Chain A
Amino acid sequence: MLLNRDTSGRRWRIRPDGRGKVTGELEYLTDLSLPNMLIGRVLRSPHPHAYIRSVDVSKALALPGVHAALTAKDVPGLNRFGIARPDYPVFCEDRVRFIGDAVAAIAADSDELAELALAAIEVDYEPLPVVDDPERAILGDSPLLYEEGNVFHRNGYKFGDIEAGFAAAAHIVEEIYSTPRQMHTYMETEGGLFVPGEDGRLTAYSPTQHGFMDRMQLSRILAKPEEDIRIVSSPIGGSFGGKDELNVQPYGALLALATGRPVKLHNSRWESVRAGLKRHPMKITMKTGVDADGRLVAHRAYVIADKGPYSTLGAEVLNFATEHVVGPYRFKAVDVDTVSAFTNNGMSGEFRGFGGNQAIFALEGQLDRLAALLGMDPWELRRRNLRRAEDPGPLGQPISVTGGAGQVWASLEGSALWRRRSESPAPVSSAPWLKRGIGAAYVMHGAGLGVGIPDPAGGRLQLRGDGKIEAVFGYEEFGQGLIASLMQMLIETFGFAERDIVITIGDTDVVPDSGSTTASRATSMMWQSLRRLRGPFAGKLLEAASRALALPAETLAIGEDGIRDAGDGRLLLSYAALAGAAGQPIAAQAHFSYPTSPVDRVGAHYMYSYSAVAVEVEVNTLTGRVHVVDQYHAVAAGPVVNPQGYLGQIEGGSSMALGFALTEDAVMSGGHYLTKNLDTYLVPTIVEHNGAVTVDAIEELPEGDEHGPRGLGELGSVGLAPAIAEAVYRATGKRASKLPIDPALLQEPIRFNEGGERHDRESANIGGAFRQA
């Protein structure tokens, strides 16, 4: 079904949190302030790599209006954080390893005073050689970030006889692909308000993608019981993985406890660029062979990722890339080797797509290059090698069976955009330097955290005393439309009216641990939760109503505003009256885990979504600049929970892919960012987005499928970049293997032939008068 406002009908609802966000009325957590609060600031290393000989905060502390100046020795608990492996120092003790590393933190009466105090802190550094190239970092003669070496993580996957495969190949493509250090560029930079309570508790109002993970980590840093810490974490002005790890929270918490006063931190964009996570830059070397019939016979991939100095979820990202460089194709032999290297560059970490974006850009590039060598249509080459529904996953693991792979292939094949690829576009007579081309890419993307990683899920429904139906989940709203999707599911599952419902999220004092809002998992897990809660909660409501009304439960129905007559729909008992009559709370809770594949391979996925993306580009060969004019996305991710949310994820994800492909790169030199702000780090603007986007949502699942909606949050961010690269090739004959695409690669000098003397607009063949080499 082409998904848009018209085809959605009554399901196209106004988003509950839309008005506040559009008008600016909504108060984000970083908008909060308290009358007696202090301003916190962090002193970060000016060196990408150095020993710390000494830190002296005494002059800063002596300034009037400065209330605390903390260093490593002021951390009562573990001076480290990190979701997977806590190796990121809250404050560096004796060594800094990148320019975002924290050395001290200040709480002062004002921002200006805090800045002045930062300048008064005396740190004696001894600079060390900077490791800024991941490939050189893992050679024997590289300076080391850690005694154990600069190899952070390795993975691999092999099957079949790779050499025999290459020997049998009719064509072999070898290519090296590079992808940029992309920044999440959320509108709301990292920050929060940290409030110590008189009862000894601490409340952190600060965005995160998993409140309970923050609570556990803060507990470990502060040496304070988890129950004494409350994390309020929504609404969030964008995250995309970038606020998954702790960022300002340790400093806010420590400063608030040290001063006994509320402390606010809010990173400037400059500080956010300097200290924040980025997408792992990857260099992917691939060698892929195909036989004369277009069967993929051998596929070798070597991935090297630039980790930066600390773990974050870098191992998991590399594992994801290991899985996704194999992707949805039936290779006869595969040999994948991946490594992530510590460097003194910026911090790499979690980012929408999670290693899939880099892997798929390379993999799809190989398919397109092989198709060209074979003289075969690139989509036909994919069809010949596409997985069947019952095939195992990319790592040989059992996966949830859907027909998604074939469905999105067929949808794209039949799309108007793809069908016009063979028609040569009419030349623009007044601008013959504009060249058009159409390309496509295929995506198979795993969701959930994968085998071997705790991945809890669940939620609670309850009838409140005031008659509101309250849905309580530990997920976060960071703009993706989670509240709208939950609201829509509650209305459509139970028959409530929107006015009957209250949604409570993002507060560890009241929500159950629903797991993280990451890995394209939250909507799936809310759907699963409601599926489990539907019977018990409806049963309890009807049972209580039956007692209150002295009517058989079978004659009653849940509806808008209250319990209704199952026959004629009359309202019999409002929810408020039901709450009053029940006398005791009516609630139901679900707790379960994200489904996983029964294999012993950490990170292997079980639930996959599929998409196929076609794109038309226009390349200006005078300037080498690429404009995307049309996009078609076929998506197989199960039922559409919320039409606008679904479209928003695909459109928003593809917007990030557009930046990944054409404009975005946090450029570093010697461990320092050259792109320090949004004047040189360039996200796409509305002008880049003026092309059409069509989304075909394929909802069909096999009969008996129990998993419902699949992950959607990352899918849209993956396929556009390789599709653009192929479209650019079709337009210009040039292959871009490095992103973002360098306009210099596509630029051509204007050439005029002798026909150029006839500058006649009526000339039938303007190309005869104007050529480019």
Chain B
Amino acid sequence: MAHSHEAHQRSPSVWHPASGREAWRLKRELGEGAVFVAGGTLLRTQWEAGLAPYPAQLIDLSGAADMTGIKQSDEDGRGWRIGALATLAECRSHPGLAADFPLVKEAARLIAAPAVRNLATIGGNVLSRTGDMATALLALDTELLWLNDAGTHAEPLSAWLGRDREGLSGAPGLLLAILPSDVSGISMISKTRRFCAFHKVGRREAFVPPVVNVALNVAFDEGGAVADIRIAAGGGTMIPARLAAAEALTLGRTPDASLLAALHAAVNDEYAPKPDPFVGEAYRRMTAANLVAAALWKAGLDARASGEEGEPCC
């Protein structure tokens, strides 16, 4: 009791490292009782709900200059580096990023509410695993740039989420940045037209976590057949995942009635949601299947409408 009395009386110590490396060093020194904090929007809900203890030490990342900013990462303007501390509001409003990655912009637009988006970071949303951003980024072959004792290394987002799904949870270091793949590097096919869509369904129209979210990133060849596709889906407490079987089904085929029906069935099978007391599993499955099938149908329409003048979308 005396211990917890003291704990109650004490506010956490707050550290203000100036770089990711310094932040990581502090975490190693301070140990389990120290918690990284960026926007703090998710942490405070966990503290309030009693899901996480109030930490004795907070490591405030906001001064870590190498974790901020959204920029094109190389000289010739190809590739993007989104600092883990970039706020969702920044991700939503950054003109260059929005032009290259409308999926990121759309996911950011649909997360929480303005006051939260001004504080919450893209890194925090990805690390929460169940937000909307991971689903959108999965459809972009994104890599995560980690910092740990071994230095920095990039790892596909899908690999990290996959390990997490296997129960090997936790981050292998401090997330410095998010690196969506250079679109022009993906399956370049001449006269390819690329389209994407992000859809989120919650229990109300705004300011809710996803019950279901889906992201589609598809390119058609000149004959209107699917040349390249990524389909990701998440929502609820499930860890978002690519739907590989559904993707494979569509390659080389035009989105006609039979393909769309088969895709619907495939998503319904492959998508693995978890029910909660508010929304059942069957509803989640059908929602994902409907949204993916509708998105591909719409992309096919748009591809035809855009003809040779099509503009890259992802």
Give chain A's interface residues, CB within 8 Å of chain B: 59, 63, 112-113, 115-116, 119-120, 270, 430, 433, 622-625, 627, 662-663, 667, 669, 674, 676-677, 679-680, 682, 684-688, 743-744, 747, 749-757, 759-761, 770
Contact = CB atoms under 8 A, between A and B. Distances in A.
B180 interface: no
Given A674-B277, A747-B286, A750-B293, A756 B45 contact: no
B274 interface: no
Q: Nearest 3 pairs between A and B by C-beta?
A: A756-B257, A752-B257, A622-B290
Nearest to A689: B205
B260 A682 contact: no
B277 A755 contact: no
A113 B298 CA distance: 59
A679 B291 CA distance: 25
B107 to A, nearest CB: 17
Contact of A752 (B1, B254, B277, B297): B297
A674 B207 CA distance: 19
Interface in B35-67: 45, 48-49
B256 interface: yes
A743 B212 CA distance: 13
A667 B278 contact: yes
A684 B113 CA distance: 13
Interface stretch (B2-10, B97-105, B165-173): B2-10
Q: Which among A676, A682, A743, A752 has the greatest number of chain B C-beta atoms within 10 A?
A: A752
Interface stretch (B15-23, B137-145, B300-308): B300-308
Contacts of A682: 203-204, 208
Given A116-B4, A750-B260, A756-B260, A761 B291 contact: no
A749 B286 contact: yes
B201 interface: yes
Given A116-B5, A627-B205, A682-B208, A747 B283 contact: yes
Interface in B279-304: 280, 282-283, 286-287, 289-291, 293-294, 297-298, 300-301, 304
17 contacts: A112-B8, A116-B8, A622-B290, A623-B291, A662-B204, A667-B278, A676-B49, A685-B204, A685-B205, A687-B204, A744-B283, A747-B290, A749-B264, A750-B260, A757-B257, A759-B297, A759-B301
A752 B283 CA distance: 20
B261 interface: yes
Given A116-B5, A622-B287, A752-B257, A680 B278 contact: yes
Given A679-B209, A761-B301, 4 more contacts: A622-B294, A749-B289, A754-B257, A756-B256
A226 to B, nearest CB: 39
A744 B282 contact: yes
A687 B206 contact: yes
Contact of B291 (A622, A674, A760): A622
B240 interface: no
Contacts of A667: 277-278
A676 to B, nearest CB: 8
Contacts of B293: 750, 752
A761 B301 CA distance: 6
Nearest to A433: B294
B304 A755 contact: no
Contacts of B209: 679
A35 to B, nearest CB: 20
Given A677-B49, A759-B304, A753 B257 contact: yes
Contacts of B286: 747, 749
B290 A688 contact: no
B176 to A, nearest CB: 29
Nearest to B224: A759
A757 B278 contact: no
Contacts of B283: 624, 743-744, 747
A115 B290 contact: no
B277 A663 contact: no
B170 to A, nearest CB: 24
Contacts of B287: 622-624, 747
A674 B8 CA distance: 27
A627 B293 CA distance: 22
A439 B286 CA distance: 27
B123 interface: no
A112 B9 contact: yes
Nearest to A620: B201
B124 interface: no
A686 B205 CA distance: 9
A113 B264 CA distance: 56
Contacts of A749: 264, 286, 289-290
A679 to B, nearest CB: 7
Contacts of B45: 679
A679 B116 CA distance: 13
Contacts of A623: 201, 287, 290-291
Nearest to A747: B286
A663 B48 CA distance: 23
A627 B201 CA distance: 13
A270 B51 CA distance: 14
B8 A684 contact: no
B255 interface: yes
A748 B258 CA distance: 18
A303 B260 CA distance: 47
B261 A751 contact: yes
B206 A430 contact: no
Given A622-B291, A674-B277, A750-B290, A770 B203 contact: no
A430 B301 contact: yes
Contact of B256 (A430, A757, A761): A757
Contacts of B298: 430
B9 A770 contact: no
B205 A688 contact: yes
Contacts of A120: 1
Interface in B171-204: 201, 203-204
Contacts of A688: 204-206
B8 A663 contact: no
A114 to B, nearest CB: 10
B168 to A, nearest CB: 28
A345 to B, nearest CB: 15
Nearest to B11: A112
A744 B1 CA distance: 49
Contacts of A622: 287, 290-291, 294
A119 B7 CA distance: 14
Contacts of B254: 757
B112 to A, nearest CB: 10
A743 B261 CA distance: 22
Contacts of B4: 116, 119
A676 B206 CA distance: 19
Contacts of A113: 8
Contacts of A750: 260, 264, 289-290, 293-294, 297
Nearest to A762: B305
Contacts of A59: 1
Contact of A625 (B48, B201, B261): B201
Q: Which among B113, B203, B291 has the greatest number of chain A C-beta atoms within 10 A?
A: B203
B205 A687 contact: yes
A212 to B, nearest CB: 37
Nearest to B264: A750
Contact of A761 (B280, B282, B305): B305
Interface in B104-128: 113
B290 A759 contact: no
A669 B261 contact: no
A63 B1 CA distance: 10
Interface in B200-231: 201, 203-209
Contacts of A755: 257
A590 B9 CA distance: 55
